[in-house]
């Protein structure tokens, strides 16, 4: 090793650290004057300094590069010594937070603290002037022939300065140099502020070296960090300028509104997805009141009617919210009648109805939402596929450049595509258990990486549990939902035979050719792109027939009669005129027009591009054969059912209403208008009390009757008792209060459990006078046999439906179903399956309780430093680390076998500890595991899967733009700017699939030169699109270790 040269540059074997280690062995007093001093670099010298009697460190600029600004301005601002010391200590905290993760650093730091306490080390800070000097003075014992040595140059007392950086330092051996430096140091030392005690306090209390943190306190700190943004929501200010008289503003509503407001501020939109019955309409109005500007509300027709007291118009008017309220069916009219600048916020009620983005109405909605604050209201935003959520999120987040913190979801399109692919790899009919397991994993992934930033969701159970005190203060409580009661109706042998035979014909014999004319087998030159949609249309009609069959003979017979008429009309026109008409959107309108013989109106649809005419010559012979065969089967079914004059299901309902529910106010739900009208006539004749029917065809006066007779929120003096029984379709299953009743009857098998939840939500309201809610579900059974109970017979009947349908059973419900599972779920009162919601509220309220009732503990939790760690005794050896960059937080678990990411709820279960548990000493393996967790975090942040993946149409348009820019160097600057902006929009995913598809097609067919390319783009891209901007998604945020728990 070369130690005889006077110059040290940190090159190869010529490092300053090596020279110090030689000189310090004989040093009695070591004085340092440095700009920056890093405690974390102390371990490099502490072994050589053990024999040194005294070490004095004079910091001239501070711990980091910002401190000298304070020193420079200290005289101008009369900065106090206390403030100066505070800055020095904050710099020390920052340095330790960023220190190398190694046992050597820890040992060196503890040695430094020990020597500070003993007085062997003293630290002062010089604040008179900023000092860039780097001076190291080594005083030897008096017995030594030399008084000492001086090293000066460019190196600070830091690990990079001592060893890593290219530096230039010189060792001075002359006695005069030593004494001059020593005298000058003494002069500065006398003028400096002592900070040793501050260093001790800071290092032992405010950095990861703190040793008094218990496992319980770290567990609480984990919760605190994870839920930090929500802990204080209940203390934040809100606009309370006006509320309706008698309105009770509850804490759970306040929390939701403030949480949603923060999410909108950060990400441009939010899902309000509390389960049904918690008052999302009121929360939407409260949220709109907190936002600037006018709010446009888009909702189903029933929810915007003036006479609906729970509807949007009434609620927004009550809260004095400046608003525009429109029906979801008039999106094109909204664009025509309202300028974009008229509104700043958009509320979309029942937003899950916009899950399909490849439609014209989604295109309209996307244009309406562009650049606005978007509030999506839905209790069920995610049903069949992960991509259900994507289309809704894209109303306020760009598809390829989201502002969500996790790089994994930067390209939302690619992220959801991966999840969809993963789900589709499992056949849910062949392996339902695996399918449900994968679906749960996908849901957890979406919750962790997407929805925690974009969704506010609570269940009724969690509100009842965690906001009980507030509910009691306001004298409110939710009624208890009892387990649904199955009602069995029996077929006799004759009806059962016809029923089963009909099911077989519907499922296996009908071809549904009328509803899928573009299927491959019917077209001489088929277009593959239509194959899936045509198949789905046929399957949809099949399921519709089966559901109407189960609903009742009346509804089923009407369907068969209508289907026969449609087939006869279509076949006659096909034979006589040689034409067939179809449309992706207007098929049912075409059927009605054909039934009325109004061919001119069909021609108008064709001319408007809403329908298409196909000639007989384009079809194979099989098409007409299947049409005529289907007509023959339908007529046979009608003939068989003509012999059945009544249906046992109706009379079972009458029996229930006249006995068990004789004096009760009752609400009966059915999917079909025909069934509703049919059973209401019978009930009116056979049961006591008047019956009200409400369907999609009902009037304003009908709604008034419903509300005055069934809504407990209507003023007592105006309530009426004209009707005891309400028969309704699902038009009334959302947006209205019906809680003057506490009985729900599901007359049809409610294949989708979510539908039960929505229906029950009408009566399970805060403020009802009832303590209990009762649900009755109707089920068919085979003829009763001895020793076989009704439940088994009902299960058998449901099994037959599902087995007959096979893969098409998914059209009955949103989940993979088996008869056993479905029967159990429909007859369970536990319909709110959202465990993570309850858990999050549990931990949130735990933190708030500590905040309000144990301020000392809460203060300690707040002050636990970054990189805090505890060690706990365990049968397993692993490390859990909470890591963060910006707002992005992740939890990792490292062990000898693997390093994996785990979610908050898995981590919290492992971290949970009792207040009296004590920690144990940490060993070197802690650092090995910590660095594994950090490495996995780095890998996640640089995940190649996070790169943008553009669609074929997006790439095609960009190719035209690139060609235009390269071919014409003389383009005006405004054209260049326009093309560049369009390119950015495509790269970010700001344009809808429909729009990119149409533009790509137009360019392919019509763009002959640069001018035509620009013309097509300008014609199809609105000014509002060009104004869209995305926040900078810089990945330069500091990566932090928040805390770790080591188990051994």
Q: Is the pLDDT of residue 603 over 80?
A: no
Whose tokens are 């739900």? That residue is: 669
Return d(Cα 309, Cα 980) in angstroms, integer: 50
What local confidence, expressed as pLDDT, does residue 816 receive? 42
| DSSP track, 610-633 | SSEEEEGGGB-HHHHHHHHHHHHH
What local confidence, expressed as pLDDT, does residue 370 receive? 92
Return d(Cα 439, Cα 80) in angstroms, integer: 60
Return d(Cα 568, Cα 627) in angstroms, integer: 9
| pLDDT band, residue 216 (cuts 50/70/90) | very high
Return d(Cα 24, Cα 1014) in angstroms, integer: 75
How many residues can be counted in the chain? 1048
Cβ atoms within 10 Å, residue 689: 17
**CA dist 988 → 411, 443, 454, 1034 (Å):** 8, 25, 19, 14
> Which domains occur in the chain, in start order?
7-205 (3.30.870.10), 252-457 (3.40.50.10810), 864-1048 (no CATH)
pLDDT, average across residues 490-515: 90
Check if the beta carbon of residue 362 is closer than 8 Å to that of residue 356.
Answer: yes
What local confidence, expressed as pLDDT, does residue 40 receive? 76
What local confidence, expressed as pLDDT, does residue 152 receive? 86
| Interacting residues of 252 by C-beta distance below 8 A, sequence separation 6+ | 278, 458, 463, 466, 467, 470
| DSSP track, 478-493 | PPEEPPPEEEEEE--H
Return d(Cα 611, Cα 680) in angstroms, integer: 38
Tens digits of residue pLDDT in 217-240: 999 999 999 998 889 888 887 776
Check if the beta carbon of residue 511 is closer than 8 Å to that of residue 625.
Answer: no
Strands (E), 300-411: 323-327, 345-349, 373-377
Among 350-354, 619-623, 766-770, 945-949, which stretch is predicted with the lowest mean pLDDT? 945-949
Query: Helices in 100-227 by DSSP H: which ranges?
Result: 103-118, 159, 175-190, 196-205, 215-226
Tens digits of residue pLDDT in 835-860: 555 678 889 999 999 999 999 999 99
Check if the beta carbon of residue 486 is closer than 8 Å to that of residue 747.
Answer: no
Q: Is the pLDDT of residue 69 over 70?
A: no
Going by C-alpha positions, the residue among 86, 31, 81, 85 that lies closest to residue 53 is 31
pLDDT, average across residues 630-659: 94
Tens digits of residue pLDDT in 536-568: 777 778 888 888 888 999 999 999 998 999 899
Share of the chain above pLDDT 90, in %: 44
Check if the beta carbon of residue 389 is closer than 8 Å to that of residue 925.
Answer: no
Q: Is the pLDDT of residue 588 over 50?
A: yes
Check if the beta carbon of residue 665 is closer than 8 Å to that of residue 690.
Answer: no
Mean pLDDT across the chain, nearest whole number? 84
Tens digits of residue pLDDT in 362-388: 999 999 999 999 999 998 887 667 888
Return d(Cα 715, Cα 451) in angstroms, integer: 39
What local confidence, expressed as pLDDT, does residue 66 receive? 42
Going by C-alpha positions, the residue among 680, 693, 677, 670 that lies closest to residue 550 is 670
What local confidence, expressed as pLDDT, does residue 810 receive? 46
Q: If phi over 0 gives left and psi between -120 and 50 gives alpha, with beta otherwise, what is residue 396? A: alpha
Cβ atoms within 10 Å, residue 543: 20
What are the φ/ψ torsions at residue 8 (nearest 5 degrees)?
-135, 120
Q: Is the pLDDT of residue 15 over 70?
A: yes
């Amino acid at each position: 090793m070369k130690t005889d040269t006077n110059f040290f540059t940190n090159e190869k074997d010529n490092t300053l650290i090596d020279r110090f280690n030689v000189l310090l062995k004989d040093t009695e007093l070591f004085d340092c004057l440095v700009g920056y001093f890093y405690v974390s670099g102390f371990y490099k010298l502490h072994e050589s300094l053990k024999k040194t009697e005294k070490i004095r460190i004079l910091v001239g600029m501070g711990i980091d590069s910002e401190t000298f600004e304070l020193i420079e301005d200290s005289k101008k601002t009369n900065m106090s010594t206390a403030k100066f010391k505070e800055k020095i200590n904050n710099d020390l905290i920052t340095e330790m937070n960023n220190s190398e993760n190694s046992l050597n650093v820890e040992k060196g730091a503890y040695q430094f603290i020990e020597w500070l306490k003993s007085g062997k080390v003293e630290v002062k800070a010089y604040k008179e002037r900023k000092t860039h000097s780097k001076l190291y003075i080594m005083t030897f014992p008096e017995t030594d022939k030399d008084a000492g040595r001086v090293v000066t140059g460019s190196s600070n007392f830091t690990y990079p300065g001592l060893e890593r950086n290219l530096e230039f330092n010189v060792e001075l051996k002359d006695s005069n140099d030593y004494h001059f430096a020593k005298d000058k140091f003494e002069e500065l030392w006398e003028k400096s502020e002592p900070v040793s005690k501050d260093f001790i306090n800071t290092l032992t209390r405010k950095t990861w070296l703190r040793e008094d943190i218990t496992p319980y306190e770290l567990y609480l700190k984990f919760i605190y960090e994870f839920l930090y943004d929500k802990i204080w929501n209940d203390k934040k200010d809100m606009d309370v300028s006006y509320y309706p008289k008698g309105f009770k503003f509850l804490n759970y509503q306040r929390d939701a509104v403030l949480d949603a407001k923060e999410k909108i501020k950060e990400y441009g939109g939010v899902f309000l997805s509390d389960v049904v019955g918690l008052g999302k309409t009121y929360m939407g109005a409260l949220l709109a009141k907190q936002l600037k500007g006018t709010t446009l509300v888009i909702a189903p027709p029933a929810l915007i009617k003036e006479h609906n007291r729970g509807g949007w118009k009434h609620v927004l008017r009550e809260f004095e919210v400046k608003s525009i309220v429109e029906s979801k069916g008039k999106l094109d009219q909204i664009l025509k009648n309202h300028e974009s600048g008229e509104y700043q916020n958009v509320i979309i009620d029942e937003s899950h109805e916009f899950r399909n983005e490849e439609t014209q109405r989604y295109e309209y909605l996307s244009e309406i939402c562009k650049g606005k604050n978007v509030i999506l209201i839905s209790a069920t935003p995610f049903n069949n596929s992960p991509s259900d959520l994507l289309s809704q999120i894209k109303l306020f987040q760009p598809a390829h450049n989201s502002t969500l913190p996790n790089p994994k979801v930067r390209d939302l399109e690619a992220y959801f595509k991966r999840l969809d692919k993963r789900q589709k790899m499992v056949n849910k009919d062949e392996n339902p258990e695996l399918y449900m397991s994968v679906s749960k994993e996908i849901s957890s992934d979406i919750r962790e990486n997407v929805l925690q930033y974009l969704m506010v969701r609570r269940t009724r159970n969690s509100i009842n549990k965690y906001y009980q005190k507030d509910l009691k203060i306001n004298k409110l409580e939710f009624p208890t939902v009892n387990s649904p009661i199955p009602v069995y109706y029996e077929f006799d042998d004759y009806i059962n035979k016809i029923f089963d035979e009909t099911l077989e014909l519907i499922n296996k014999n009908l071809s549904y050719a009328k509803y899928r004319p573009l299927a491959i087998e019917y077209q001489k030159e088929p277009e593959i792109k239509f194959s899936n949609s045509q198949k789905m249309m046929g399957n949809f009609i099949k399921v519709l027939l089966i559901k109407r069959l189960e609903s009742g003979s009346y509804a089923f017979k009407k369907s068969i009669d209508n289907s026969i008429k449609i087939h006869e009309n279509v076949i006659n026109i096909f034979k006589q005129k040689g034409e067939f008409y179809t449309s992706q959107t207007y098929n049912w309108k075409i059927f009605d027009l054909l039934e009325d013989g109004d061919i001119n109106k069909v021609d108008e649809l064709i001319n408007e591009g809403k329908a298409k005419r196909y000639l007989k010559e384009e079809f194979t012979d099989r098409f007409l054969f299947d049409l005529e065969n289907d007509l023959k089967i339908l007529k046979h079914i009608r003939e068989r059912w003509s012999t059945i004059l009544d249906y046992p299901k109706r009379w079972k309902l009458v029996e229930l209403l006249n006995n068990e529910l004789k004096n009760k106010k009752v609400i009966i739900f059915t999917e079909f208008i025909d069934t509703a009208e049919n059973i209401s006539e019978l009930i009116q004749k056979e049961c006591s009390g008047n019956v009200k029917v409400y369907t999609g065809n009902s009037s304003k006066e009908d709604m008034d009757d419903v509300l005055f007779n069934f809504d407990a929120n209507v003023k007592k003096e105006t309530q009426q008792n004209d009707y005891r029984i309400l028969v309704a379709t699902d038009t009334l299953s959302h947006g209205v209060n019906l809680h003057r009743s506490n009985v729900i009857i599901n007359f049809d098998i409610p294949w989708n459990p979510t539908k039960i939840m929505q229906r029950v939500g009408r009566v399970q309201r805060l403020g009802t006078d009832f303590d209990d809610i009762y649900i009755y579900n109707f089920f068919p059974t085979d003829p009763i046999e001895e020793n076989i109970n009704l439940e088994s017979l009902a299960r058998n009947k449901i099994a037959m439906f599902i087995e007959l349908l096979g893969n098409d059973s998914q059209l009955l419900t949103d989940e993979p179903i088996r008869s056993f599972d479905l029967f159990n779920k429909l007859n369970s009162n536990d319909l709110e399956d959202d465990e993570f919601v309850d858990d999050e509220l549990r931990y949130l309220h735990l933190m708030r309780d500590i905040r309000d009732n144990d301020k000392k503990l809460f203060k300690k939790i707040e002050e636990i430093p970054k990189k805090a760690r505890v060690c706990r005794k365990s049968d397993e050896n692993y490390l859990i680390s909470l890591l963060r960059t910006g707002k992005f937080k992740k939890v990792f678990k490292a062990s000898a076998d693997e390093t994996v990411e785990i979610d908050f709820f898995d981590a919290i279960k492992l971290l949970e500890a009792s207040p009296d548990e004590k920690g144990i000493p940490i060993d070197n393996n802690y650092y090995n595991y910590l660095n594994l967790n950090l490495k996995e975090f780095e890998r996640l942040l640089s995940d190649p899967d996070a790169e943008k993946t553009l669609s074929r149409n997006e790439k095609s348009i960009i190719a035209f733009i690139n060609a235009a820019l390269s071919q014409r160097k003389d383009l005006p600057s405004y054209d260049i700017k326009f093309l560049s902006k369009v390119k950015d929009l495509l790269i970010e995913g700001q344009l809808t699939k429909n729009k990119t598809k149409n533009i790509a097609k137009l360019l392919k067919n019509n763009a002959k030169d640069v001018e035509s390319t620009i013309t097509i783009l300008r014609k199809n891209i609105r000014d509002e699109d060009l104004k869209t901007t995305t926040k900078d998604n810089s990945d330069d945020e500091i990566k932090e270790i928040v805390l770790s728990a080591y188990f051994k």
